[in-house]
Amino acid sequence: MPNLSNTAPNVCMFACLSDNYGYLVHHAASNSTICIDSPDPSKILEKANSLGWTITHILNTHWHADHAGGNEKIQKETGCRILGPKEVNSRLNAPLDETLSGGETLEFGDLQIQVLATPGHTLEHISYYIPSHNIAFVGDTLFALGCGRMFEGQPEMFWNSLKTIRALPDETQIYCAHEYTLANLEFALSIDPENTDLRNYGTKLKELRAADKPTIPTNLGMEKLTNPFLRADNPVFANFLGMNRYASENVFAHIRKMKDNF
């Protein structure tokens, strides 16, 4: 259930499609309800209605259909305003009212949301960070113990995006778009078997999934210790992979290719 505080943004997270998460962020003070991406418009509208919230905005992270495919239906039902990278319209032909590219600050009353440029999964992928409450919605750039596939970007671009997210405070709660965690855990353990933090974290994650509970949000501080894709510049880890003489973006690319073939 969402936190029903009158001052803090209330995040409602719910499963949809096969492995996506839907997110509604309600800010009572500004009478705003923000939908992060639009993977399953019927489920999203149903959830908003059940909470008595009217969606006022959609913030898209990137153009893929399981992130922006519900824009039209939700806007038709609610009249909401849609913001996101231009690829949402140019690649998917989904409605978009305002283009974002990173560096903007969105204001909903006293709630500020920073837009971060995080390309790599797609060329114009962006993420949304609420600094006042240490919350980040990162789409398909970062997952619990993983990262998105590098469909369009280059290793240096994607690695820089991961460093952008990694630079946020350790307390940041990372809301990613998919429940891929156990598969990511299996891969992480295969290439980082001596990581005690990873093994301990993995035990907790398995317990959550065994109880049919989500592993999201994940804590950024823990991800910095355990996520192999955030540790490409860790000299001990790079040495374990036999890549201590390589640039960090090349280590990242190597790990990403290993995951693709895992």
Catalytic member of 27, 62, 125, 254: 62
Indicate if 26 belongs to the active site. no
How far apart CA 62 and CA 87 sit, in angstroms, is 7
Task: With CA atoms as reference, report the closest residue to 145 among 38, 238, 227.
Answer: 227
How far apart CA 32 and CA 27 sit, in angstroms, is 5
How far apart CA 146 and CA 180 sit, in angstroms, is 8
What is the side-by-side strand order in the sheet with 57-59? 10-16, 20-27, 32-36, 57-59, 81-84, 98-99
User: Any idea of the CA torsion for 56, 173, 62, 149, to the nearest 10 degrees?
Assistant: -160
How far apart CA 40 and CA 65 sit, in angstroms, is 10
Indicate if 64 belongs to the active site. yes
Give DSSP secondary structure letters for 38-55.
Answer: -S-HHHHHHHHHHHT---
Indicate if 133 belongs to the active site. no
Indicate if 57 belongs to the active site. no
Assess contact for 185 and 145: CB atoms under 8 A.
Answer: yes
Catalytic member of 26, 57, 67, 254: 67
Assess contact for 232 and 147: CB atoms under 8 A.
Answer: no
Total Cβ atoms within 10 A of residue 52: 8
Catalytic member of 57, 178, 192, 254: 178
Going by the DSSP 8-state scheme, the letter that residue 124 receives in this structure is T
Residue 217: is the preceding peptide bond cis (ω within 30°)? yes
Indicate if 66 belongs to the active site. yes
Catalytic member of 37, 40, 66, 192: 66
Catalytic member of 26, 27, 64, 254: 64
Indicate if 97 belongs to the active site. no
| Catalytic site positions | 62, 64, 66-67, 121, 140, 178
